[in-house]
Structure 1
Amino acid sequence: MEIANLVLTLICVISFTCTHAKIGYFWHITDFHYDPLYTPQGDTRRHCRRADERGSSGHHRALGRFGDYSCDSSLELIESAARYMRTRHSENVEFVLWTGDIIAATYTGNEDTKYQAIRNMTELLSQTFSSHFVFPVLGHLDPAPSASLTNLWMHWLPLEAMQTFQNGGYYTIEQSYSKLRIVVLNTNLFSARESSSPPAKRQWDWLDGELEKATNNKDMVYIVGHAAPGSDSRYPYDTSPDANAKYLRTVRRHARIIAGQFFGHLHADTFRVIYDNDRPVSWALLAPSVSPHRDPGGSSNPGLRLYKFDTNNGKVLDYTQYYLDLAAANRNAGAAEWTAEYNLTQYYGLHEVSAVSLHNLADKLRIGTPHETNVFYKYLRAYNVRYESSDNCDGACAHQHFCAITCLEHLAYRQCVEAAASALAAAGESAPLVAPLVNVLLTLMGLVFLVV
């Protein structure tokens, strides 16, 4: 009996050691929207920049040093995020995904000043992750691929990646120590303006080749980009219908080897589920932005995301979402206290991160029972990164979220939204969904579900 117990103990120790040895972390940061002209003495009517005294009425409100919900990111906000990331699992961080939109949309500097702003952000991340690779992605606000941009990021990219990045803004990273391949896309080539261009065709051919190579090598793949497939009520069609459909067909065909898809762009915390004949086969997770400003859909608190994964095969095990209460940081006059907002599996009660588990979660977001209403408002609180918005989300709004998550074909999304609108109209729903309970629910969830 004692021998049996000893053997069992040894097995447990060995199992724990092996399992622990596989665990790693990676950061996903996105949408800095850095505005070099932001100033606490600025005017929200001028994107938080210093007002022209001759044209100013003198009645604009005071701004905070870490930014404002009406404007894009200040340098101090981004520096505070960098300082915080240094403190979290630094010894086990394998790499960083940086998914685009580095510069604010409203920044009107010339090309030289824009490159200088990107260079400043690059140097900040190089200092923050001095012994790690940062894998940059082009957003729709970033410059087109060029030798200048490639040279700026060459210390993070191997030679073969630099070649495809300079020509098309896409590249792959093969992990020499594991069976995980990172495939970085230039989703700007999926736009209606670019989707029929020669660079877009070259990216499709390249992507097919990379996925076939991964299949033959028995590698698993992370697909990383700026704008996710599908649609959203605030950004109806970021990709052309043809490019969107082609991407979804590609994912379905290679779903077995795709261990995850990671995007930004929406400045919101949400996810997508891809189906093949009504069967969930793949998923995409969209990280919220560092920028507090979301146009045209409102505002959110700044966010950072740290993933936990199996370094051998890329299986995503969990993530922790961090955030900054921007209003509180500005009130504290110098203390930007980033903190854990929630942990994915605990917050939603998931046993694993998979297409099936996220499909089941999406199904709970369809408002019906009180339990489902509770789950939806947990999702909505995360979606806005705990920003206390006064807007209510009625039944039609709630169903738009469900449609965006589960109907990624453009036509399917439109039909999903229209069907919901017809059903709600027939039911006579016009008032906001459980509006009197919204603020109470959100307050309680902040107390009960926060995972530190």
Structure 2
Amino acid sequence: MNFQALSTCVVLLFTCIHGNKEHLRRAYDPDSWKNNVSCDVCKIIVGQLATAVEQQAPSKTLIELSNFFCTHFKIEDARVCKAIINQYKDTIFGVLQMTVLSPDDVCAQVINETCGSPFNPNTTWNITLSSVPKPPVMPPAIPKPGLPTIRILQLTDMHLDLEYKYNSSADCHEPLCCRVNDGPPEAGHKGAGYWGDYRHCDLAPRTFYSMMEYLESIKNKFDMIYFTGDIPAHNIWNQTRVDQLARIRVFQSALERYLPDKPVYFAAGNHESSPCNIYAPPFVTGNLSQDWLYGAFAEVWTKWMPMDTIDTILRGGFYSVSPLPGLRIISINSNLGTTDNWWLLVNNTDPAGQLQWLADELQEAENNNEKVHILMHHPTASAGVKPWNLNFFKIVNRYESIIQGHFNGHSHDDFFTVFYDEVNFTRPISTGFVAGSGTTYSNLNPGFRIYTIDGNYTGSSWAILDFDNYVADISELTAKTTPVWVKEYSAKADYNMGSLYPSDWSDLIYRMRDDDSLFQKFDKYRYKLAANGPCKGSCKTSSLCSLKTAQTGHPDLCKDLQ
């Protein structure tokens, strides 16, 4: 066994496959990192690691050599190299011990399906839909003026960095900067801002509490809260389970202190876990299981929800709850469907039975004449295991008449996605609302969103009628000033929309294609008023295409956007 070659493969695996994958500028693609890792490199890495596991290579030697090569070739600095390898080693070796996939198949799932055999939909797994026929699809009826409404605050991707330090280095050459251990800025470089920084820096605590104080001051403007995941910061190389649980409780305490009368409904983010992205399905037991996190979810989340949600939270971090007559909130753990969750290389067949449970819950909601809001951290196109995506889309298509919206986060910028029917991919059937992040990471202003929803009254549609986005511009703030939280825009007014049904969002895509000034307005709002430069040509086409691809893999979805 060539341990030097093997250790280099380990380093490449850790740094290339699980380096900092969050967006750096515009047109954020959560899978863009994969473009930098070739299929051949991936197959060599996986093959070498599988051989090492099979031959029971000494882990101590492997780790020491991996650390040496990581620092020697300046893949990351010494502290990141040492910590990231230690963070993920148990998961990687656990997966490789259990998987029966070949290196080609592993890389096809992790990098791109062209790395292995082409995806064959006839060999995938399928959930079972109810035998109850799909009701005829009726055009939505806009509620009459004056009917009751409720308002929902959406918070997402706070990435609260409790170690943020004013005037520390914001160009630290690590995945996350502006922190206590980063030291002063280099000569000629500006240090981290007092209220935050647009560079690779997460949300400063003082800015987080400024947001919470502002939300407390406008608490009469919303009735309940959807939180769609990601509380901890991006220092994924040195996070422990204890760290993650502490951050969750800091956030919980802030909600209880500033907004004690507002019920909160959560979805699991990819950063809540340690290691980041890794959500072990139920077949993983012992120290590598997810019990430590699901137990914390059950403890925290049920402060605002009934106890009958505990069973599914403990099983897989998902639940269903009906807080108001006629409304059902279903929270999905999308981490059980992403390629970043390496345990799915062992078995990706409906992890924790979640999608079958979702289909059954939606059928029960249909039987009870309920409408549904789906909470999920990842926008659907980012939940990347192909069979999972196909089954989720099949479920959405069947229950389009009762699903009134998908509430997502993860991407940090502010946009939407449109689902189209499974027959010809032309009729809009559902909308994903992707709210902007609380964190500034990267090149964004912090923000939040408040929706106006039809309800609460007998026969209400629970449809999204409008939403307002709020931001605080940190670009000119100093230690002597304070953030000013302002309404950035309203969807109906600023996009000139008659309503916010799927057909209206689909129409907006084509209006932006033909009206560049409208698109540039959307692009400005997408990055929450932070300067990102113009988006023209292929940038615009790619941006518009991303709005049409809530479900991935259809070759004709974006042909008409040129």
Write the deviation string for residues 142-196 of structure 1: whole angstroms up to 9, x where unpaired.
1254213321333112111122112211011112x42010000000011133554
Amino acid at match of 1:133: P
Q: Distance in 1 between matches of 2:196 and 2:248?
A: 19
Amino acid at match of 1:242: P
Partner of 1:84: 214
1:260/1:375 Cα in 2 relative to 1: closer, same or farther (>3 Å)? same
TM-score normalised by length of structure 1: 0.80
Structure 1's consecutive aligned runs of 4 or more residues displaced over 6 angstroms after TM superposition are none
Partner of 2:371: 220
Q: Distance in 2 between matches of 1:124 and 1:265?
A: 21
Q: Distance in 2 between matches of 1:29 and 1:243?
A: 26
What SS class does the counterpart of residue 318 from structure 1 fall into? strand
Q: Distance in 2 between matches of 1:51 and 1:142?
A: 22
Correspondence for 1:396 among 505, 523, 538: 538
Counterpart contact for 1:399–1:420, Cα < 8 Å: no
2:347 is equivalent to residue 205 of structure 1: no
Partner of 2:398: 253
Counterpart contact for 2:195–2:478, Cα < 8 Å: no
1:52 Cα deviation after fit: 5.8
Counterpart contact for 1:273–1:355, Cα < 8 Å: yes
Matches within 5 A, 1:42-53: 42-46=168-172, 47-51=177-181
Partner of 2:431: 283
Q: Distance in 2 between matches of 1:34 and 1:146?
A: 21
Partner of 2:549: 407
1:274/1:331 Cα in 2 relative to 1: closer, same or farther (>3 Å)? same
Partner of 2:387: 242
The gaps in structure 1 that reach 5 residues or longer are 1-17, 231-236, 424-452
What SS class does the counterpart of residue 391 from structure 2 fall into? helix
Amino acid at match of 1:103: P
What SS class does the counterpart of residue 45 from structure 1 fall into? coil
> How many residues get paired?
384
2:264 is equivalent to residue 134 of structure 1: yes
Partner of 1:149: 297
Write the deviation string for residues 37-85 of structure 1: whole angstroms up to 9, x where unpaired.
11003211331013566x9755542222221111111111111111111
Q: Distance in 2 between matches of 1:386 and 1:168?
A: 37
Q: Distance in 2 between matches of 1:395 and 1:148?
A: 47
Counterpart contact for 1:43–1:50, Cα < 8 Å: no
1:319/1:169 Cα in 2 relative to 1: closer, same or farther (>3 Å)? same
Amino acid at match of 1:307: Y
Counterpart contact for 1:223–1:260, Cα < 8 Å: yes
Q: Distance in 2 between matches of 1:340 and 1:246?
A: 38
Counterpart contact for 2:168–2:182, Cα < 8 Å: no
Partner of 1:351: 498
Matches within 5 A, 1:302-341: 302-312=446-456, 313-328=461-476, 330-331=477-478, 333-341=480-488
Write the deviation string for residues 334-368 of structure 1: whole angstroms up to 9, x where unpaired.
411000000110001111110111111011122x4
Counterpart contact for 1:183–1:221, Cα < 8 Å: yes
2:155 is equivalent to residue 29 of structure 1: yes
Answer with 314-323 or 155-164: which moved more. 155-164
Correspondence for 1:178 among 316, 325, 338: 325
Amino acid at match of 2:171: R
Q: Distance in 2 between matches of 1:287 and 1:26?
A: 12
1:286 Cα deviation after fit: 0.5
Q: Distance in 1 between matches of 2:304 and 2:531?
A: 38
Q: Percent identity?
A: 25
Q: Distance in 2 between matches of 1:183 and 1:41?
A: 42
Partner of 1:7: none
The gaps in structure 2 that reach 5 residues or longer are 1-143, 274-289
Amino acid at match of 2:448: L
1:241/1:115 Cα in 2 relative to 1: closer, same or farther (>3 Å)? same
Write the deviation string for residues 93-133 of structure 1: whole angstroms up to 9, x where unpaired.
32100111111121524321221122111100112220111
Bigger proportion of residues as strand: 1
Counterpart contact for 1:43–1:51, Cα < 8 Å: no
Q: Distance in 2 between matches of 1:266 and 1:286?
A: 8
Amino acid at match of 1:221: V
Matches within 5 A, 1:3-42: 20=146, 22-42=148-168
TM-score normalised by length of structure 2: 0.65
Partner of 2:227: 98
What SS class does the counterpart of residue 380 from structure 2 fall into? coil
Q: Distance in 1 between matches of 2:148 and 2:416?
A: 25
Counterpart contact for 1:191–1:240, Cα < 8 Å: yes
Correspondence for 1:263 among 366, 388, 408: 408
1:319 Cα deviation after fit: 0.6
Counterpart contact for 1:95–1:134, Cα < 8 Å: yes
